[in-house]
Amino acid sequence: MFSQYLVYSATLLGLSTAYATPRGTVPDDGFPNPNPQQLLSIEQQADGLLSNLPPPPTLSQAGITNFQLIAFNENLEVSFFQEIISNITNHVPGFEVESSTYSEAALLEVLKTVKAQEELHAITAITTLQNFKAPLVPLPCTYDFPSTTLEEAITLAETLTAVVLGTLQDAEQSFAQNGDDGPVRAVSSVIGQEGEQNGFYRVLLNRKPSEKPFLTTNVAAFAFSALQQFVVSCPFDVAQIPLPIFPGLSVLTAPEARDMYLSFSADLSGNPQVHEGSDFAGLFVTYLVGQQLPISEPIINPKFDGGVLTFDALFPFTENIMSGLSIAALTNASNFANADALVANTLAAPGLIQVNDPLLPSSKASNYSSSA
């Protein structure tokens, strides 16, 4: 069964895009182009209206990129929640609702509301991009998700939402640096909203609802890279969103709430600077956790085979209280001044690491809890 410590990374999520079959998950509510009647029913299901504030007068190039990433991500989330709803509704094996707290009807109502709210987030990003005549407005893609049970799906929802909660910090930072004060209030309202969602997923998973005093930060390029593993194909050129896509950093060891060495691997075959004779001693695993300065640990035991580098690095849990989400990157430098500084020195990222002690003994917990 589920380990209480869950690791997500490109490889462990087990997606084989080559064999992925698109699934019929297109919402029937007109999204992403609802007519006025359809928009009203989305708003009713979402328990609120789209903002009617006028658009900001200007938006910087960086602001456009932020909204491209937000639209790309929100489109994916809409499909993800639509697919969970459809799996529960169609009684797909593994998607039986066995919670002692939530009936199937109640959980479906929560998820339908989340989906409608994500649709309004996506529509807001899309109309902002259209308003500023962005060179690319991301439309929904075809996706493949690795989850095959409701528990896995909720666990993935929690991880994706935690990554978004870090990424929207980066968007706000970028808005501030580029004079884009217009969207700040609305994006902050979405940060709180996604935090409410994650509290609920965490309770379902038998974790404390509030994860950390200061949620783990992230950077746009790592979020964009992480989302690629779910994408089968898009009706636009993904490379036109001006963010780098890094090879994934796979976390091969189940992390625990203690200092320990984790094994990692990364496929660096596309990196012309890395070859058999490279000096791997100059590489680090750099962790983002909470609002700490990036934490760099030198890699040890590097093995380079067929373009794939495997190695170990310390996971310094105790000193840094690395509960909840940590985001790992393979970097060729250390002593970074902030999260954004990592990007220029990253070879592979992100590795998504979760350490969450169960709140209640599993016999007393909801059946979505992780039992060791």
Ligand X SMILES: *[C@@H]1O[C@H](CO)[C@@H](O)[C@H](O)[C@H]1NC(C)=O
Q: Which is nearer to ligand X, 80 or 264 (CB)?
A: 80
* 142 lies in the site for ligand X, by CB under 6 A: no
Q: Which is nearer to ligand X, 67 or 222 (CB)?
A: 222
* 87 lies in the site for ligand X, by CB under 6 A: yes
State how far the Cα of 329 lies from the Cα of 310, in Å rounded to an integer.
Answer: 13
305 DSSP β-pair partners = 308
CB of residue 22 to ligand X, shortest distance in Å: 12
Q: Token pair 């490889």 is at which residue?
A: 11
Q: What letter represents residue 207's amino acid?
A: R
Determine which residue in the list 60, 127, 142, 148 makes contact with ligand X, applying CB under 6 A.
148
* 92 lies in the site for ligand X, by CB under 6 A: yes
Q: Say if CB 236 and CB 139 are below 8 A apart.
A: yes
* 274 lies in the site for ligand X, by CB under 6 A: no
* 100 lies in the site for ligand X, by CB under 6 A: yes
CB of residue 79 to ligand X, shortest distance in Å: 8
* 153 lies in the site for ligand X, by CB under 6 A: yes
* 332 lies in the site for ligand X, by CB under 6 A: yes
- Binding string, 159-198, against ligand X, x = CB under 6 A? ----------------------------------------
Q: Near ligand X by CB under 6 A, which window of 4-12, 91-99, 158-166, 226-234?
A: 91-99
* 345 lies in the site for ligand X, by CB under 6 A: yes
CA Rg value for the chain? 20
DSSP 218-234: --HHHHHHHHGGGEEE-
Q: Say if CB 353 and CB 251 are below 8 A apart.
A: yes
State how far the Cα of 151 lies from the Cα of 94, in Å rounded to an integer.
Answer: 8
Residues 6+ apart with CB under 8 A from 65: 220, 241, 242, 243
Q: Say if CB 329 and CB 350 are below 8 A apart.
A: yes
* 145 lies in the site for ligand X, by CB under 6 A: yes
Size of the site for ligand X (CB under 6 A): 16
* 122 lies in the site for ligand X, by CB under 6 A: no
Q: At what angle do helices 61-89 and 150-177 cross, to 10 degrees?
A: 170
Q: Near ligand X by CB under 6 A, which window of 82-90, 173-181, 232-240, 255-263?
A: 82-90
* 75 lies in the site for ligand X, by CB under 6 A: no
By 3-state DSSP, what share of the chain in percent is helix, strand and coil, each rounded to 5?
40, 15, 45
* 232 lies in the site for ligand X, by CB under 6 A: no
Q: Say if CB 329 and CB 348 are below 8 A apart.
A: yes
Two structure tokens written together for 37 = 């009647």
Q: Near ligand X by CB under 6 A, which window of 8-16, 86-94, 231-239, 298-306?
A: 86-94
CB of residue 154 to ligand X, shortest distance in Å: 9
- Binding string, 32-71, against ligand X, x = CB under 6 A? ----------------------------------------
State how far the Cα of 127 lies from the Cα of 29, in Å rounded to an integer.
Answer: 17
Q: What are phi and psi of 81, to 5 degrees?
A: -70, -35
Residues that bind ligand X (CB under 6 A): 80, 83-84, 87, 92, 94, 98, 100, 145, 147-148, 153, 332, 345, 347, 367
